Amino acid sequence: MSEPVSPLMNARYEGLVTIEEIGPMGMITLRGDLAATDLRRAATAPTGVEMPQMREASTADGKGILWMSPDEVLVLCAYADVPGTVQSMTDALVGTHALVANVSDARAVFRLTGANVREVLAKLSPADLSPEGLPLGEVKRTRMAQVPAAFWLESEEEATVICFRSVADYVMGLLKTAAHPASAVGFF
Amino acid sequence: MLTLLCPCCGVQADETELAPGGEAHLKRYGPGSTDDDFEGYLFMRENPRGVHFERWRHANGCGKWFLAARDTVTLEVYGTYSAQTTEPPEHIKEAITAKHPGWSWREFA
Ligand SMILES: [Zn+2]
């Protein structure tokens, strides 16, 4: 079988922040009633993390659950674990009105590290990137320039960005421009 | 800059993260309705200078529809509320009345 690859072959750039295209990463969309016991169990059992509150990123050890909307979460896991996880989630939801879909190959993932992660993201999104506007561990679904994106901060020096795979090159270009070493603003 | 608080996810969304959905509180007239009602449903829209009720979708966000009451002149937002309502909630009406005593919009006042 051919090897799965990420869209930019793990491209890397060093500027105001270090940008790494990571992945492939396992991403499973789960939609339904987020308060339903079956659904919460389906999400938490394979990930070992708590069910996220509104807008929360609940992550640990490379696995996690991201709150995406009032009826949608994104389950994160290792790429190789996706088929088994989809199967176990589907089995856990028999009889429950819900959707489980593997979207791993539809997305690209970037990791930003460095002291200027808030500033680099703020240059590209209309969202409030201040510590009050985007606390650590809160998922922000927004746009970056002209494409939809989602990101969250694990710490003040580390952020993860998810976008559609088809615009991975565009988003890498945006991030590189915003992280150009001569473009520091020092707002945050 | 227009920002609206999405009542579905609690985000203060920028206009560029939202998709406009036209007028709120339209009543659908379908097959079997009179020609006048059907024409009104399809084509007749308010175009006020002042208080207005609109549908918006948090497109670059949680993806949900919601309703907003705002002023088309000042861009003041009186409030946003669930799309699953057939008329503006009382607290929205009160917020409008505080600024525009005697306001009316279609059958609401
Ligand atoms: Zn929203």
Question: Across residues A164-178, what is the average pLDDT?
Answer: 98
For the segment A28-56, what is each residue's pLDDT rounded down to a tens digit? Answer: 999 999 999 999 999 999 999 999 999 99
Question: Across residues B27-56, what is the average pLDDT?
Answer: 96
Residue A13: pLDDT over 70: yes
Question: Across residues A165-187, what is the average pLDDT?
Answer: 97
Q: How many domains does chain A have?
A: 1
B contacts of A143 (beta carbons < 8 Å): 16-17, 60
Residue A100: pLDDT over 90: yes
A7 occurs within a structural domain: no
What H or E segment, with its residue span, contains residue B94? helix B90-99
pLDDT at res. B97? 97
pLDDT at res. B32? 95
The residue in chain B having the minimum alpha-carbon distance to the alpha carbon of residue A150 is B61
Provide the residue type at A136 as one letter.
Answer: L
Domain of A89 in residue numbering reads as 15-180
A141 occurs within a structural domain: yes
Closest CA to B24 of B109, B93, B82, B91: B82
Residue B91: pLDDT over 70: yes
pLDDT at res. A2? 83
pLDDT at res. A67? 98
A contacts of B9 (beta carbons < 8 Å): 54-55, 69-70, 141
Q: pTM for the complete prediction?
A: 0.94
Report d(CA B15, CA A109) in Å as an integer: 26
CATH of the domain at A149: 3.30.1360.120
pLDDT at res. B109? 92
Residue B40: pLDDT over 90: yes
HEC letters along chain A:
CCCCCCCCCCCEEECCCEEEEECCEEEEEEEECCCCHHHHHHHHHHHCCCCCCCCEEEEECCEEEEEEECCEEEEEEEHHHHHHHHHHHHHHCCCCCEEEEECHHHEEEEEEECCCHHHHHHCCCCCCCCCCCCCCCECEEEEECCEEEEEEEEECCEEEEEEEHHHHHHHHHHHHHHCCHHHCCCCC
Query: Given pLDDT bands bounded at 50, 70 and 90, which one contains residue A10?
Result: very high
Q: Which residues pair with A112 in a beta bridge?
A: A19, A159
Query: Given pLDDT bands bounded at 50, 70 and 90, which one contains residue B85?
Result: very high
A161 touches chain B (CB under 8 A): no
A34 occurs within a structural domain: yes
A100 occurs within a structural domain: yes
A6 occurs within a structural domain: no
A110 occurs within a structural domain: yes
Q: Does the ipTM exceed 0.90? A: yes
Residue spans of beta strands (DSSP E) within chain B = 3-5, 12-14, 19-23, 51-57, 65-71, 77-82
Percent of chain A with pLDDT strictly greater than 70:
99
A32 occurs within a structural domain: yes
Question: Across residues B21-44, what is the average pLDDT?
Answer: 96
A187 occurs within a structural domain: no
Question: Across residues A90-104, what is the average pLDDT?
Answer: 97
pLDDT at res. A99? 98
Residue A145, Ramachandran bin (φ over 0: left; ψ between -120 and 50: alpha; else beta): left
Query: Given pLDDT bands bounded at 50, 70 and 90, which one contains residue A1?
Result: low
- Residue to test with chain A: of B8, B9, B18, most A Cβ within 10 A: B9
